[in-house]
Amino acid sequence: MNLAIIGATGLVGEEILKILSQRNIQLCSLILVASKKSLGKVISFQKKNFKLISIEECLEQSIDVAIFSAGKDISLKWAPIFSSKDITVIDNSSAWRMDDRKKLIIPEINGNELCENDKIIANPNCSTIQMLIALAPLHKKYGITRIIVSTYQSVTGTGRIALNQLNNEYNKIRGEMAYKYQIHQNAIPHCDDFEDNGYTKEEMKLINETHKILDPKISITATAVRVPVIGGHSESINLTLEKDFDVQEIKELLSNSKGIKLQDDPKSFKYPMPINAKGKDDVFVGRIRKDFSCENSLNLWVVSDNLRKGAATNAVQILELIKSKGYIN
């Protein structure tokens, strides 16, 4: 397989390289693309050095698959050009997620929808991925009618500039700001831009992408909050189900579901936390309990490394899936 990574120097690009190595994915060639300020620099991967090139130079190479992690504008401009050359694009941005002609894929949930002619495949939003990994088994068995989700999102979801802001503030260094306000020792109820309806784009992604992937009939409301955390995103989720349930059955179902690690033993103080999720590919679920205020309802606490399963790992899993289906060499 000849693989290109567009945005190789970003936080997600770096994770993609780690995961390719960890999962021992065999490559004939690897082409690493970066912005103009990084051109000519060298990245080491599996004891080999790779020179960073421009996206224009990349198109002159022989490529089977390109993973895009360079933002929406780059994806909108270049993904169609790549796909027109019979290159399969796996896109980590929001550019194609709600395009009716493009598949929005979480391999554990709807990977079977992929076809050979899917040349631009969208990776869902990080918060959506971890939430739906936890909720898909429950929807299949019990039917979900309503979701109320509040997210507590790592600064790594904003990128390196936000990580630098947090570190600078911790060390009392003045520097470039990713956010309008201090993030150290703070919580900012504002992820992405505000829309006319009062919700942020991040909140609407959770709503719209859940409808596209899981079920358009589910009622959803979301609040997204940025917190001074590095390890991953956390979500407090309240569900209303069509059918009555037993909490122990819920725990057993989730513990036997692909991609989920159950951590639910309050008496031993075992529950998911982002500090323990960092660097891992699983979605961690705990604090499962009935909501006694509403019939057929329950609460969950869901945590995952947003750079891993929320972005890089999901993209690499899509890569593995289309290869296993024989859609690429």
Burial 215-251 (b: 16+ CB within 10 A, else e): eeebebebbbebbbbebbbbbebbbbbeeebeeeebe
Treating both helix axes as pointing N-terminal to C-terminal, what angle do 247-255 and 126-142 enclose, rounded to 10 degrees?
120
58, 139, 191, 233: the catalytic one is 233
- Please tell me whether the overall predicted TM-score, pTM, comes out greater than 0.75 for this model: yes
> Could you report the per-residue pLDDT of 32-78, keeping only the tens digit for each?
999 988 998 999 999 899 999 999 999 999 999 999 999 999 999 99
How high is the mean pLDDT of the chain? 97
Cα separation values, 26 from 53, 158, 163, 315, 329, Å: 21, 31, 32, 16, 11
What's the chain's Rg over C-alpha atoms?
A: 20
Phi-psi region of 45 (alpha: psi -120 to 50; beta: other; left: phi over 0): beta
In this chain, the answer to whether the domains covering 2-124+311-324 and 127-306 adopt an identical fold is no
Q: Return the CATH fold of 127-306.
A: Dihydrodipicolinate Reductase; domain 2 (3.30.360)
DSSP state for residue 200 in the 8-state scheme:
B
pLDDT of the residue at 217: 98
Active site residue 28: no
Q: In which band, very low, low, confident or very high, does the pLDDT at 328 lie, cut at 50, 70 and 90? A: confident
Higher pLDDT, 142 or 37: 142
Q: Where are the domains of the chain?
A: 2-124+311-324, 127-306
Average pLDDT over residues 132-153: 98
- pLDDT of 2 strictly over 90: yes
Q: Which residue has the tokens 């190789």?
A: 8
Average pLDDT over residues 224-232: 96
58, 126, 139, 191: the catalytic one is 126
- pLDDT of 329 strictly over 90: no
pLDDT of the residue at 82: 98
> Could you report the per-residue pLDDT of 261-314, keeping only the tens digit for each?
999 999 999 999 999 999 999 999 999 999 999 999 999 999 999 999 999 999
- pLDDT of 128 strictly over 90: yes
Active site residue 58: no
> Could you report the per-residue pLDDT of 73-110, keeping only the tens digit for each?
999 999 999 999 999 999 999 999 999 999 999 999 99
Average pLDDT over residues 141-156: 98
In CATH terms, 2-124+311-324 corresponds, of 3.40.50.300, 1.10.10.10, 3.90.650.10, 3.40.50.720, to 3.40.50.720
The residues, ordered by sequence, that sit 6+ positions from 290 with a Cβ below 8 Å of its Cβ are: 247, 297, 298, 299
